[in-house]
Structure 1
Amino acid sequence: MTHPSETDNQTEQLLSKSAPTWVVHFFVTLAILIIAIMVIGAMFASKPEARKFGSRPTPSVAVETSQLQATQYDVWIDSYGTAKALTQTQLVSDVSGRVVSVSPSIRAGSSFKQGEVLLQLDDRDYRIEVDVAKASVADAEVKYMQELAQADIAGRDWNVRPGNAKGKALALRKPQVAAAKASLDAAKARLAKAQLNLERTQIRAPFDGRVMRQTVDLGQVVNPSQTIAEIYSTEAVEVRLPIKMSDLSHLSLPEDDRYQGENPRVVFEGEVGSKTYQWQGELVRSEGAFDTATRMLYVVATIDNPFQNTAQRPAIRVGQFLRAKVQGQRLTNVFVIPRRAVSQDYFVSIAQEGVLKKRKVEPLWTDAESVVVPASFNLDNIASTPSKPALEPSDRLILTPTANLPDGTRVKFIGDVSETQQAANSNGQDEKARSAKGSANKTKDSPANRTNASN
């Protein structure tokens, strides 16, 4: 057993040894806390001050603009159709006979002139009939002359010995003379018919044209009313063009012969091989009723000299598909806006003092490239023109699509589109009409003469 005094001594020794270690631990912990507080304070002191939301400047959207300018615009209505010969018929034989001669001009695709002999039938039987008819005429003439001589003798006898007045006509042989005269006339008619049938053995072309299909050939026997060939005239071709009901208000139709205005021009375009060519025509009439299936009105246009090959264009083929642009009315005092600057619900955007403003417009005419809106109240355009236009000449039109930008958005200009460039953009199709006009050497206005008001 340990003595109490020894235990106390050991305890004192332990306390004397552990006291410095405790102090060191205390000061180390205190130093760590001070350093941590200083680091946290430095971090809060160096943190940038958060900006207030309202202090950030409003961003601006870069847009392309153009100054509006009032002008006039020629409406051209798009359509299409198939070329059809103005006159197309079946060439038939009026008499029967065997084909003894065939002209090269009656072959399919060949051209012929009016009056040209296309087919010759065996005419020997018809020549005999002519000779027989001539003999009949000669015999009838002799009999008629005999009756006239006998009537003259009877007249002299009547003058010497007059008889009953009621029998005077019979005594003077007037009935016999009339019968002889009728026989002579009948003989002459049979001769004329025989000569006509002889002429009909030569089947001639009724007009200048071309052959679509030949149905008989050398050695074949034909009968009356039998088709010899299918032919068509090369004078002109017709094209039936469907016009939508909404476009009729912009078109002057030559309804009948009383129409005194100038026929609207039509520019046709079609492909021959890999190249595209143009032909000039005019609107000549409209059909009397709407098509019940499409609710469209068909108008008819003609193309003059369509089968003439030139350096500028080839001949048109019957049955060829053609695109057409029909000349409509001229709209005056209007703005011509590029189609890309107009939304589907006909809103446009303008820039006023750097702020986007949206305006609702009422179009007078629209096509794939342009939307035409009134610049002011004008009854010459349409009766429903609004009294106050949505756009003014001083407005700056935004050409960049702005469908997703709200009204009031700040905008900045990245450049204006020149009038020349705008005209080229909106009148791309009409430049084709200008080239067609130059090739036809015409002095009338072409579709390209319109000025684009949006520039």
Structure 2
Amino acid sequence: MKRKIWIFAIAAGIVLAGVVVMFVLFSLKKEPKPTPKPQVDVYVKAETVQYKDLQAVVSSSGRLHALNEVVVSSEVTGRLSEGDVPFRNGQKFQKGQILAEVVNPEFPLGLKARKSRFLQSLAVILPDLRLDFPDSFSRWESFFENINIEKPLPAMPEPQSSKERIFLASRNIISDYYSILADQARLEKHQIRAPFTGAFNNIMQDPGVVVNPGSQLATIVRTDVYELEVPVIMDEVRFISVGDSVQVENDNSSAAWKGVVKRIGSVVNPSSQAVSVFVSVPGSYGLFDGMYLTAHLYGSKVKDVMEMPRNAVFNNNHVYVLEEMRLIEKPIEIVKRNDQTLFLRGLHEGEELVVEPLLNVTGNPIYKILR
């Protein structure tokens, strides 16, 4: 029994001595010094802050419309006939061309008869004018000789005195003269001339039908000048003025046209909070009523600003500036926002402005400029 006790005690002593030796050895071991991580250099795009005057360009889209769209109506009675161009949908015409004629042979013949009667009335009073108004006789004789029933009446001489006026009025000369002028004006309405260069948009009557005063014949649209209405937000209207030049492009920017700002609306759209700007675009190949186009309006110059990419701004109006190879966050004043860029103020000239978006800015690396 004692033998077993001694063996157990000796074994426990050996284990205890081993533990003591192990702790002593661990206490003598030196902790290794941590290896410093290598400093990482990060390259970023930056530009030196420098202010200058920049052109404000406002871009917006809208639909192109013909400047004028007119319903052509007849003012006289007669049979409708074609004029200088076919009376058909889509037919183009030039300003001053006869679009249609309202034929009524009786009316011009009746006008010639009235002119003949007027000549007869003048022939009757010429001897009296020679005796009673010798100073005016030569003018009335010349007027009489210049009257041609195939042509419009010449200008009637003005009476030189109230007595002469009474004499002419008592013979119905003045009333007959203005009655014939009224008929001449009505005769001109039998020919409908184009008020502008354009095209037929909608034919309502076919040639050959009898029309009356007020009958609608066709709708015509102007094609030598178009108007583009584009909405511009309130913050950017201040850069636009009447007369500013405009570049108009189609959807894929494959064609472009020049225009000019003609009017700026004075009412704000309550839903979009935008003001309508009207751009005049001269008619050209490839332009059609109803097209959807994009307008780039070249407005006033913005003074003392710098342009930078919009995606380099964070938290609405903060940017990064490099100072001694470290990033410094600073606020800016945004003067104008463009599609991809913006105009800014608020930084000191000479500072290095980071012009690319930075993600996961952590640690304290050294930043170097990539020009």
TM more than 0.5: yes
Which residue does 1:124 correspond to in 2? 105
Match of 1:276 among 254, 266, 288: 254
Which residue does 1:49 correspond to in 2? 31
Matched, 1:326 2:282: no
- Mapped partners of 1:356, 1:107: distance in 2: 71
Structure 1 segments unaligned to the other structure (5+ residues): 1-14, 153-172, 255-262, 375-388, 418-455
Which residue does 2:118 correspond to in 1? 137
Matched, 1:267 2:238: no
Which residue does 1:205 correspond to in 2? 194
Q: Which amino acid aligns with 2:354?
A: I
Is this contact kept in 2: 1:93–1:222, CA < 8 A?
A: yes
Which residue does 1:181 correspond to in 2? 171
Q: Give a deviation string over 1:322-365, Cα, whole Å, max 9, x none.
A: 22121122234433222121113311112222222111111222
Is this contact kept in 2: 1:117–1:203, CA < 8 A?
A: yes
Matched, 1:353 2:324: yes
- Mapped partners of 1:341, 1:321: distance in 2: 32
Alignment of structure 1 residues 41-440 onto 2, 5 Å? 44=26, 49=31, 57=37, 60=40, 62-72=42-52, 73-101=54-82, 104-145=85-126, 177-179=167-169, 181-182=171-172, 184-251=173-240, 253-254=241-242, 263-271=243-251, 276-291=254-269, 294-304=272-282, 306=283, 308-309=284-285, 314=286, 316-374=287-345, 389-393=346-350, 395-402=351-358, 405=361, 409-413=363-367, 416-417=370-371
* Higher-helix-fraction structure: 1
Aligned pair in 2 of structure 1 residues 246, 176: CA closer, same or farther (>3 Å)? Answer: closer
Q: Which has the higher contact order (CA 8 A, sep 6+)?
A: 2
- Mapped partners of 1:103, 1:215: distance in 2: 18
Residue 95 of structure 1 and its aligned partner are, at CA, apart by: 0.8
Aligned pair in 2 of structure 1 residues 345, 178: CA closer, same or farther (>3 Å)? Answer: closer
Which residue does 1:452 correspond to in 2? none
- Mapped partners of 1:175, 1:38: distance in 2: 149
Aligned pair in 2 of structure 1 residues 399, 292: CA closer, same or farther (>3 Å)? Answer: closer
The count of aligned residue pairs is: 341
**RMSD of aligned residue pairs (Cα, Å):** 3.9
Whichever of the two has the greater Rg, that structure is 1
* Higher-strand-fraction structure: 2
- Mapped partners of 1:334, 1:176: distance in 2: 79
Is this contact kept in 1: 2:49–2:348, CA < 8 A?
A: no
Residue 41 of structure 1 and its aligned partner are, at CA, apart by: 6.4
Identity %: 20
Residue 269 of structure 1 and its aligned partner are, at CA, apart by: 1.6
Is this contact kept in 2: 1:211–1:229, CA < 8 A?
A: yes
Aligned pair in 2 of structure 1 residues 336, 145: CA closer, same or farther (>3 Å)? Answer: closer
Residue 249 of structure 1 and its aligned partner are, at CA, apart by: 3.4
TM-score normalized with structure 1 length: 0.63
- Mapped partners of 1:234, 1:123: distance in 2: 31
Residue 188 of structure 1 and its aligned partner are, at CA, apart by: 3.5
Aligned pair in 2 of structure 1 residues 33, 185: CA closer, same or farther (>3 Å)? Answer: same
Structure 2 segments unaligned to the other structure (5+ residues): 134-162
Q: Give a deviation string over 1:148-175, Cα, whole Å, max 9, x none.
A: 69979xxxxxxxxxxxxxxxxxxxx999
Q: Which amino acid aligns with 1:129?
A: G
- Mapped partners of 2:69, 2:179: distance in 1: 33
- Mapped partners of 1:120, 1:29: distance in 2: 135
Is this contact kept in 2: 1:65–1:400, CA < 8 A?
A: yes
Is this contact kept in 1: 2:40–2:366, CA < 8 A?
A: yes
Residue 289 of structure 1 and its aligned partner are, at CA, apart by: 4.5
- Mapped partners of 1:102, 1:178: distance in 2: 41
Which residue does 1:432 correspond to in 2? none
Is this contact kept in 2: 1:356–1:411, CA < 8 A?
A: no
Is this contact kept in 2: 1:92–1:228, CA < 8 A?
A: yes
